[in-house]
Amino acid sequence: MEIILAKSAGFCFGVKNAVKTAYEKAETETELYTYGPIIHNKTVTDDLEKKGVHVIEDLDSAPAGGKIIIRSHGVPPKVYEDIEKRGFEYFDCTCPFVKKIHRIVEDRHKKGMEIIITGSPVHPEVVGINGWCGNSAVIISSVEEAKAFELEKGKKYALVSQTTFQTDTYDEIADIICEKTDAELNRTICLATAERQHEAVEIAKQVDCMIILGDKKSSNTRKLYEISKKYCENTFLCETFVDLDLKFVLKYGKIGITAGASTPPAIIKEAVNTMSENENKSFEEMLDESMVTLRTGDIVKGTVIQVSETGDVSVNLGFKSDGIISRSDFSDDPNTNPADVVKAGDVIDVYVVRVNDGEGFVQLSKKKIDAVKGYDEIEEAFNNSTTVKGKVIEQVKGGLIALINGIRVFVPSSQISNRYVEDLKAFIGQEFDFNILEYDNVRRRKIVAGRKALAQKEIDEKRKEVFGKINVGDRIEGTVSRIVEFGAFVDLGGVDGLIHISEMSWGRIKKVTDVLKEGDKVTVTVLDVNAEKGKISLSLKDLNADPWKSADEKYAVGNVVSGKVVRMVPFGAFVELEEGIDGLVHISQIAYEHVEKPEDVLTVGQEISAKVTELDLDNKKISLSIKETLPKPEKAAEEAPAEE
């Protein structure tokens, strides 16, 4: 058996300095407290506790006269302020790399830049960094979150990182941010962290088994586990070597060992010594003692124990450890709440992803089981040209993603409807019937679905239904689906009808949007139906309020009426007598003297009185005369012929 120990394993500079300070102060100081665990390692914190160095999570827990050690993770500025207000003496062991991030964040925040931090939002280092910009930072912990993050136009962004963040993930996030905006990039991952991660990858590539030593709460330790697991399936995470089941480890010929930044050298040394002592122990003997009955890839039944508030499902497998289905492994639909699907006591089929997830649980997946069944149903629908139901869950380049039988399927933008759709987001969350257009039965990766033909069929059926029951004069309800310059189209239940701008009001309107907007619910009157051309003419006017119904009395010939000039034309001026009724004053009827242009005498908006000279109810026309309401000029009176 060959053991490869990482050169960079164990304490980094910042942690080593903080731990050294704690031990040194413990020899000379009393009433000593660390603001949070000095490092994420129970062995160290327990040993310091015995030496009189106590862990507190808030300053209220420290008595007057106590001395505070600020750990390498750093703290927000408010903590420094509170320490000084309370009169505590303190020893600042913040890692220099973290201090540098604090300075960058504080400076960029003062310059009005928005701060983005890559890291875990609950990690104490990130909490501390965020405090230096007034807790206003956007915290991104994954590539998916970076893709979903919408940057505000006109704002400047500065990107920093948790010192122990994965280098490859940071680079991916940085690329995504730069595609969206011209952000300032600060690659603040600790050099020791980057080196430790790189070395772990190189060792994991060449060994049969990889052991990661460190506290399970340690961020950098978990990241070492995650990146090693990518290259070595047999990767194990344990706090001390005692936690590792040697009967499984010693069967491997070449074993790699590395440790997180919070792992003491003594634990690493113990691991190597223990491995050497057990090298010759019979694997068969250890295997016989084992309780292992699960393997990665197994499909087994389990009983649901509970569903947590975060959506993780605990499952009893009859194994020495319970299984966990994370919310992301429960369904491909991000909107699915596991609590709505399963409850305690339910027996379900699960797929074993990993026997030991590094936290002592068996990692399970339900969506992998659903996928196996889903592929079969999709293939059957493709071969038989039948439809399948699916739910649109997200928009991607070129179209949408629909979840069909638990499988993510691509729907091109041209196949979501029978007509061009500008805003695809409107379909997200909706369920439809789909045709399977393409299916790769070898790799099962390229599956394309569409509903263009189905949408057309649905519309044809709705059109036939609507035209079969609609009649001129009907009052029906609809929804404004589209605004155009000359009117508005209204969805009457699968068929659009048109309200011309002239049919929107008895009064005068300048533009359609003064009256309607898309999405408005309206009650309209059917004016005309043409099934052959597929056209329906509508009116928004209330026919009972037609002002022309009483026009014969109000505007009888000879009546003097009042109105407002609303429009000039070369041959006269139109006067609004009331909403929906205009009269025309011909240019010859404006005054007794010759008028060259109507605007020489009248102005739009002017209130005038005029006599009705003609009333045409059939054509809804009224002729008016202003001059007949005026006294005749003396000259005109003299020239008038004498009455016989």
C-alpha 329/C-alpha 323 separation (Å) is 12
Tell me, yes or no, if 125 is annotated catalytic: yes
Distance between CA atoms of residues 177 and 181, nearest Å: 6
Are 480 and 522 in contact, with CB atoms under 8 Å apart? yes
Question: Which residues pair with residue 404 across a beta bridge?
Answer: 407
Among 314, 321, 308, CA closest to 362: 321
- Angle, alpha carbons 616-622-628 (nearest 5°): 125
Token code pair at residue 442 = 């070898």
Q: What does the block give as tokens for 507? A: 């009064």
Write out the DSSP string of 250-302.
TT-SEEEEEE-TT--HHHHHHHHHHHHHTTTS-HHHHHHH------TT-EEEE
Q: 37 by DSSP, 3-state: which?
A: coil
**Phi, psi at 243, each rounded to 5°:** -75, -15
Cα distance between residue 15 and residue 627, in whole Å = 101
Per the CB < 8 A criterion, the answer to whether 121 and 162 are in contact is no
Question: What is d(CA 212, CA 562) in angstroms, rounded to the nearest whole number?
Answer: 94
CA atoms of 580 and 576, how far apart (whole Å): 8
Q: Compute CA distances 338 → 317, 328, 401, 548, whole Å.
A: 18, 10, 21, 64
CA 63 vs CA 31, 77, 88, 252, 544: distances in Å: 8, 21, 9, 53, 83
Which of 196, 269, 195, 261 shows the shortest CA–CA distance to 18? Answer: 261
Q: Where are the beta strands (DSSP E) in 474-550?
A: 475-484, 487-491, 496-500, 521-530, 535-539
CA 560, CA 12: separation in Å to the nearest integer? 99
Q: Which two tokens stand for residue 424?
A: 């695809």
Give the separation between CA 463 and CA 470, rounded to whole angstroms: 11
Report residue 604 CA to chain centroid gap: 52
In 3D, which of 98, 90, 100 has the Cα closest to residue 128? 98
The structure tokens listed for 44 are: 């160290």
* Cα-based angle 318, 320, 324 (whole degrees, multiple of 5): 75
d(CA 363, CA 325): 6
Distance in angstroms (rounded) separating the CA atoms of residues 315 and 362: 9
CA distance 184 to 201: 29
User: Is residue 425 within 8 Å of 150, Cβ to Cβ?
Assistant: no
Cα end-to-end span (Å), the chain: 142
C-alpha pair distances (Å), 73 with each of 76, 102, 125, 185, 482: 10, 11, 5, 21, 57
Structure tokens at 607: 């209130």
Catalytic residue among 29, 89, 125, 431: 125
- Token pair listed for 30: 């009393």
Active-site residues, by number, are 125
